[in-house]
Structure 1
Amino acid sequence: MLIDRMALTGSILLDIFSVLIAILLVIISAFKRRYSYWKNIGVECLEPTIPFGNFKEVFNQKLTLGEFSIQYYNTMKARKAKHTGCYFLHRPVYVPMDLDIVKRIMQIDFNHFTDRGGYVNEKDEPLTATVFNLGGQRWRDLRVKLTPTFTSGKMKLMFPIMVQLSKELTQTLQEECKSSDIDVKDISARFTTDVIGNCAFGLDCNSLKDPNTEFRVQGRRIFDSTTIEMITKFLTFVFPNAMRFFHVRALPKDASDFFWKVTEETAERRRRSGTRRNDAFQLLLDMMNKIGKEGDTALTFGELAAQAFVFFVAGFETSSTLMSFALLELSVNEDLQKHLRDEINIVLRKNNGELTYEALSEMRFMDMVICETLRKYPPVPNVSRLCTKEYRIPDSNIIIRKGEGVIIPVKGIHYDPEYYPQPEKFDPTRFTEENKSKRHHFAFLPFGEGPRICLGLRFGLTQAKVGLASLIKNFKFKLNPRTKYPVKFDPKNIFTSALGGLWLNVEKID
């Protein structure tokens, strides 16, 4: 009997093992068939690796997405490819190289590529229904509602908030630089947290005075994901329908709940008191309450909360990234730092020492420094689009099918010597009006382009310029030995982020 049982057990184990081998062979065969897709339709592609596709080094964290973008782009550019295909796991993704094709996808033939393919799960996580993630008609309707929020007129209303907080930034840095080196990414993020907390939620966050305030902690929580959370986010991107079916959340629950509660409390407080403020949150409230032009459609509370959330998260991270890398490059290139400081002082003297919205627009070299920083360190190294209607690439037989993804290799384009000679060099003169006119317009894509260009572009640039003007006027920055240059990037962060922070020596100017 014992022998029979052992024999039976051995047979079952063998059967299970055989079934697993068969399943594995089927999976491998399916991947191989899928990985022949681009070759079959005549599009050049690098050899993929099962199951990672062409992103193996990104998954094992040997490369950041930005480094992958440059490496992939340079390899295909050397082959003189106008367009290429790659594989993200099992999914074919089209990668345009020719800037005229990029322009068609992002602008001219935009009606074929209206969506980003972001994860939306309103039932379980209403904060995912942002203007960034939504597609189709819902995106169009929401975009129309939100566009007036970031006009130059609205920026002028919010400008005094930014200036006041830039003064607090100066005071905080003056105290902190006395006793220690400064991580400029951290202090920049505290400044942008306070600015956007005020403008997106109408709250005084006080991150500059208290780095551990709840707003700052929860803002970091969105990006400081655990391993499980990173896997979950990845799965929501690859299998969005399945993740919605299983009610999977893409955001950390504690952070999501915090921002939802803050939105509810802020809206209720203003309703009861009748208080009105010159900030983005008030503009969203007016849309929800249909205060404005006749015929305007109202926002739902869920739409309001989701937009306030994405303004905060995207705004504080991208603007602080821009500010901190600009400070890094100015600390390495002290002649450029002096040039910018001289411009700031000249413009301020012309305006009685006051930083106004109009004065900021006079700072031409500031604009050049900002643009060159965005070229060298685009906050998001790739831009994605989803084909929503079958599309034939012009002058070819290549068909992009509905549902297929597109990746625009932004950082690869930004480091192309054809457009930017010596791309590793920080050179703001690339962005004089004369030099800009010599380049293809789509050779500079830090915020995307076309109808889905970043809605908060003007706001993000304005707060970064205000912060930089205050810092460069009042302090000198030098590279600290703790910061390696060129920068080593963090492979765990989807945004462009320095590994270990950006530490600089800071000296107050008397």
Structure 2
Amino acid sequence: MLTAAIFVIIVALVYLYSTRTFRYWEKRGIKHDKPVPFFGTDSEGYLLRKSMTQTAVDACLKYPNEKVIGFFRSSRPELIIRDPDIIKRILTTDFAYFYPRGLNPHKKVIEPLMRNLFFADGDLWRLLRQRMTPAFTSGKLRAMFPLVVERAERLQSRTLEIASQPLDARELMARYTTDFIGACGFGLDADSLNDEDSAFRKLGAAIFNITVQQAIVAALKEIFPGIFKHFKYSSKYETDFMSLVSSILKQRNYKPSGRNDFIDLLLECRMKGEIVVESIEKMKPDGTSEVVRMELTEQLLAAQVFIFFAAGFETSSSATSFTLHQLAFHPEIQEKVQKELDQVLAKYNNKLCYDAIKEMRYLESAFKEAMRMFPSLGFLIRECARQYTFPELNLTIDEGVGIIIPLQALHNDPEYFDSPNEFRPERFMPSEYNHNKTKFVYLPFGDGPRGCIGARLGLMQSLAGLAAVLSKFTVKPAPNTKRHPVVEPKSSIVQSFKDDLPLLFIERTKP
């Protein structure tokens, strides 16, 4: 009897804990779906039946006249933002209130690989960002470009060898991206284009292949962050990744090797010594910021290499393969792209180079249009760092409230893009692009101080891969190609497709 009573009390306490915030948006007059215990309004997400991106899109469609929409991730209140002026406040104007992403449920116990520039918050983020920003200048990118070209040429050769049958564009571009990251990130020749069993390719797939176990761990950390703070997302690859980076650093004697890859750039950052910044978290009694310091340890270096690998892998491969998919169904646009490629490459002895890529404006517009229709990051995420009032809404939210900026919904909203279901690269050409109208709507790389630090590198290597393919091949739909690919419901922040993207790669015959 006593046991049963204790059980009932525990269940009741857990229930009350999981529902304690469920009137948060109701009290503030914000429209939202009815939350359920433990899952909030994200039960489909926790059950791996719908991605957060699609959940946000559905919310925007359900409440089309609302500037903001309430949401509950378990018991945590979050706010979906649809208004560009409010998005501007969050990303730039009032960034000091919204600098965290809030991706680590526990604020102090953070697993080693998550201490990277993307996942880090507060002073750790500021310290890393300050030191790493100079590593992505135009000069650094230009020095890295020969490594990109070498992998792009391999992509051409490999495609020529296997193009006798339909190819999975997603897998092909993922292997190109993996080889690029291996060379530009680690100084390694991954050769996953030719090696079907490439360990490097398997590592990339493992990071984004969310297992049931990982989903359970993520749910427990979000619902009960204090109890499950020592559970790890990255346990299945943390040790191997740390060992790989450690061995590379030892081979280089912890000094830049002259390869101009990402590990070299990090070692250059480390050689500059202690990082010193003004704190964005800690204040002195007189109201001024405290000074915080940090050394770039080997563990921190490994975490930055990890995010370079993870962030570049799925984002670039999904964006480039979707671009090829769209061009396959729009042959007239593909012809325009190829005409430009032929004209530009003719000026550079038919060789890819940094300057040639910069001149491929229509190719870049086609790529940007594909990222509009299917942004690799389906949404941006922020967290309120301290109490804040939105003047447009007279709405006050508290520290810890999550912010969702639904890129997939915004990028396909007819209020900002005419005929959004139409693939039309011209909308990004200088003669037509309305920057002011879409400034805080079209955000494939984010914006503000937490915008993607590697945006130019990602754009450069993606365009190089597309140029390598389209200068030599014409892509067409295969017999089993789906006109509208299905998005993987297990996708997290980075979107991917559930199935292959089969295309025919037909070698071009130039006059």
Give 1:486 deviation, angstroms: 1.2
Match of 2:202 in 1: 217
Match of 1:470 in 2: 468
Distance 1:466 1:33, change over 3 A: same
Structure 1: runs of 5 or more not aligned: 1-11
Of 415, 433, 436, the match for 1:435: 433
Give 1:28 deviation, angstroms: 4.6
Give the alignment of 1:178-257 within 5 angstroms.
178=164, 180-244=165-229, 247-253=230-236, 255-257=237-239
In structure 1, the residue corresponding to 2:78 is in which secondary structure?
A: strand
Counterpart contact for 2:91–2:447, Cα < 8 Å: yes
Match of 1:348 in 2: 345
Q: Give the letter for the 2:412 counterpart.
A: Y
Larger deviation, residues 297-306 vs 354-363: 297-306
Q: Give the letter for the 1:303 counterpart.
A: L
Match of 1:91 in 2: 76
Give 1:432 deviation, angstroms: 2.3
Larger deviation, residues 446-455 vs 111-120: 111-120
Match of 2:507 in 1: 508
Match of 1:42 in 2: 29
Give 1:291 deviation, angstroms: 8.0
Distance 1:281 1:330, change over 3 A: same
In structure 1, the residue corresponding to 2:471 is in which secondary structure?
A: helix
1:427-479 deviation digits (Å, cap 9, x = unpaired): 21221223323523011011211110111111111110000000011111111
In structure 1, the residue corresponding to 2:319 is in which secondary structure?
A: helix
1:342-383 deviation digits (Å, cap 9, x = unpaired): 111111112222222111111111111111111111112111
1:179-216 deviation digits (Å, cap 9, x = unpaired): x3211111111111111111111111111110311111
Q: Matches of 1:476 and 1:67 in 2, distance apart?
A: 32
In structure 1, the residue corresponding to 2:159 is in which secondary structure?
A: helix
Q: Matches of 2:368 and 2:395 in 1, distance apart?
A: 34
Considering fraction of residues, name the structure with more helix.
Answer: 1
Q: Give the letter for the 2:496 counterpart.
A: S
Counterpart contact for 2:257–2:264, Cα < 8 Å: no
Give the alignment of 1:397-416 within 5 angstroms.
397-416=394-413
Larger deviation, residues 364-373 vs 116-125: 116-125
Q: Matches of 2:401 and 2:331 in 1, distance apart?
A: 46
Q: Give the letter for the 2:171 counterpart.
A: D
Counterpart contact for 2:327–2:333, Cα < 8 Å: yes
Distance 1:496 1:335, change over 3 A: same
Q: Give the letter for the 2:253 counterpart.
A: R
Counterpart contact for 1:483–1:503, Cα < 8 Å: yes
Q: Matches of 1:81 and 1:509 in 2, distance apart?
A: 50
Give 1:172 deviation, angstroms: 0.7
**Considering only CA atoms, is the larger Rg found in Structure 1 or Structure 2?**
1
| 1:451 equivalent in alignment to 2:436 | no
Distance 1:21 1:239, change over 3 A: closer
Give 1:310 deviation, angstroms: 0.6
Q: Matches of 2:276 and 2:346 in 1, distance apart?
A: 44
Match of 1:67 in 2: 54
Q: Give the letter for the 2:248 counterpart.
A: T
Give 1:396 deviation, angstroms: 3.5
Q: Matches of 1:196 and 1:170 in 2, distance apart?
A: 17
Q: Matches of 1:63 and 1:274 in 2, distance apart?
A: 44
Counterpart contact for 2:274–2:296, Cα < 8 Å: no
Match of 1:106 in 2: 91
Of 326, 329, 333, the match for 1:332: 329
Give 1:261 deviation, angstroms: 1.1
Counterpart contact for 1:122–1:129, Cα < 8 Å: no
Q: Matches of 1:286 and 1:438 in 2, distance apart?
A: 38
Match of 2:103 in 1: 118
Counterpart contact for 1:218–1:258, Cα < 8 Å: no
Give 1:40 deviation, angstroms: 0.7
Q: TM-score normalized by structure 2? A: 0.90
Match of 1:258 in 2: 240
Give 1:24 deviation, angstroms: 4.2
Of 354, 357, 365, the match for 1:360: 357
Of 303, 306, 324, the match for 1:306: 303
In structure 2, the residue corresponding to 1:435 is in which secondary structure?
A: coil
Q: What is the aligned residue count?
A: 491
Of 267, 270, 278, the match for 2:260: 278
Q: Give the letter for the 1:277 counterpart.
A: R
Match of 2:283 in 1: none
Q: Matches of 1:231 and 1:279 in 2, distance apart?
A: 36
Q: Matches of 2:36 and 2:273 in 1, distance apart?
A: 55
Q: Matches of 2:255 and 2:436 in 1, distance apart?
A: 55
Counterpart contact for 1:66–1:381, Cα < 8 Å: yes
Match of 1:480 in 2: 478
Distance 1:482 1:50, change over 3 A: farther
Q: Matches of 1:316 and 1:288 in 2, distance apart?
A: 25
The two structures, once aligned, show a CA RMSD in angstroms of 2.4
Q: Matches of 2:254 and 2:27 in 1, distance apart?
A: 64
Q: Matches of 2:298 and 2:19 in 1, distance apart?
A: 47
1:311-345 deviation digits (Å, cap 9, x = unpaired): 01110111111111001001111111111011111
Q: Matches of 1:116 and 1:249 in 2, distance apart?
A: 18
Of 45, 62, 65, the match for 1:58: 45
1:480-507 deviation digits (Å, cap 9, x = unpaired): 2333121111112223212221111111
In structure 1, the residue corresponding to 2:420 is in which secondary structure?
A: coil
Counterpart contact for 2:46–2:219, Cα < 8 Å: no
Q: Give the letter for the 1:309 counterpart.
A: F
Q: TM-score normalized by structure 1? A: 0.91
Distance 1:394 1:146, change over 3 A: same
Give the alignment of 1:167-186 within 5 angstroms.
167-178=153-164, 180-186=165-171
Give 1:294 deviation, angstroms: 13
| 1:377 equivalent in alignment to 2:374 | yes
Q: Matches of 2:14 and 2:276 in 1, distance apart?
A: 57
Query: Identity rate of aligned residues, in percent?
Result: 34
Match of 2:288 in 1: none
Q: Matches of 2:154 and 2:464 in 1, distance apart?
A: 12
Counterpart contact for 1:104–1:110, Cα < 8 Å: yes
Q: Give the letter for the 2:302 counterpart.
A: A
Counterpart contact for 2:99–2:383, Cα < 8 Å: yes
Q: Matches of 2:99 and 2:92 in 1, distance apart?
A: 10
Q: Matches of 1:299 and 1:480 in 2, distance apart?
A: 49
Give 1:280 deviation, angstroms: 1.5
Larger deviation, residues 480-489 vs 316-325: 480-489
Larger deviation, residues 42-51 vs 305-314: 42-51
Q: Give the letter for the 2:304 counterpart.
A: Q
Q: Matches of 1:303 and 1:22 in 2, distance apart?
A: 44
Counterpart contact for 1:190–1:207, Cα < 8 Å: yes
In structure 2, the residue corresponding to 1:266 is in which secondary structure?
A: helix
